[in-house]
Amino acid sequence: MAYLRRMKNLREITLPELEEMMADMGEPKFRAKQIHEWVWQKFAADINDMTNLSKALREKLTKEFSIPKVKMHHSQYSSDGTIKNRLQLHDGFYVESVLIPTEKRLTACVSSQVGCSLSCKFCATGFMDRKRNLDFDEIVDEVTLLNELSQKHYNKNLTNIVFMGMGEPLLNYKNMMKAIERICSKDGLAMSPKRITVSTAGVAKMIKQLGDDKVRFKLAVSLHAATDRKRNEIMPINETNNLNALVESLNYFYQATGNEITFEYILFKNFNDSLQDAEDLMKIYRRVPADLINIIEYNPIDQARFEKPDEVKVEEFMNFLTENRVNVRLRRSRGKDIDAACGQLANIDHASTPDMVE
């Protein structure tokens, strides 16, 4: 199906560009700042909402620009306080994002792509095609909407952001970086980059790029298997970004930034949960200046054949790592009763090409 043609996105115009544009229109320079404030501080959804601009200027702007805002479609509420949200993009696609409350944190789990191209065999999103990347302002909208939800339900702003929703953030690098810059800016949410974690399945080249760009946020690596043979079986990305390449890129990243690195490791019954698997994981941990290994309980999905191990197996696995002085933590999933837990975000029913016309 054909998409609606987009007008120019007003949020893609920088403040200096706005100032130049106002000069070309014969408008005073301060109009640019007013527009910028409407877009990024007042989160205007319509140019006609910018009431301190003249009607004539608003009419000029609406002929050329739009503000394609992300809209909240609906929310689901878990018994543990987690809120999963289906968000509708300007072209009719959907993504999911999650607000995760704990005693000390209010965390936004955001998506970076519609679908995913990596096809991990245990992840619901991995069974979708990648339709497109999210634009930087759409990612900012996700965070803004979740912040509003946090204020509404918990009377507090977000404390943390994790790029652990749908898609591979490092395959949408420019938009992810631009979104984080906006989120951390003083005229944005002013969030510290140290409270942001970007998760990757292991795109070695882009991990090195993070190092070159001297990013200040944390990095989480979805490992899930500690040998190439097993990782190839569940994560096709490992065939072109094997463990040696991944280890090299993580060391490069750490040497360039000194930022915290965390390994994420989902336990699958009779696949990666043996003591030999624990020893292989320990060996990878020793090769990287990782701060922590998060052991994650598997959340079953209809499309995958995996099961979660029993509690005794999990305890044995954890004990082996702890006894060998590995900093390890068991992370219990939140929002399982609404399919909001790790690996369950998909929007399968709404992932097809939207029915839009020119």
Per-state percent for the chain, helix, strand, coil, to nearest 5: 40, 20, 40
- Residue 109 annotated as catalytic: no
| CB 288 within 8 Å of CB 280 | no
Tell me the residue length of the chain. Answer: 358
User: Residue 71's beta-bridge partner residues?
Assistant: 88
Residue 271, helix vs strand vs coil: coil
Q: What is the DSSP letter of 81?
A: S
Catalytic site residue from 116, 120, 123, 342:
342
Checking DSSP bridges between strand 65-66 and strand 132-133, what pairing results, if any? unpaired
- Residue 120 annotated as catalytic: no
**Nearest Cα to Cα of residue 70 among 50, 94, 105, 99:** 94
Site of tokens 């929703």: 165
Q: What is the maximum alpha-carbon separation in the chain?
A: 73
User: Residue 331's beta-bridge partner residues?
Assistant: 296
Handedness of CA 339, 114, 193, 212 (dihedral sign): positive
Range list of H helices, 8-123: 15-24, 30-40, 55-64
Catalytic site residue from 27, 96, 142, 168:
96
- Catalytic positions are 96, 342
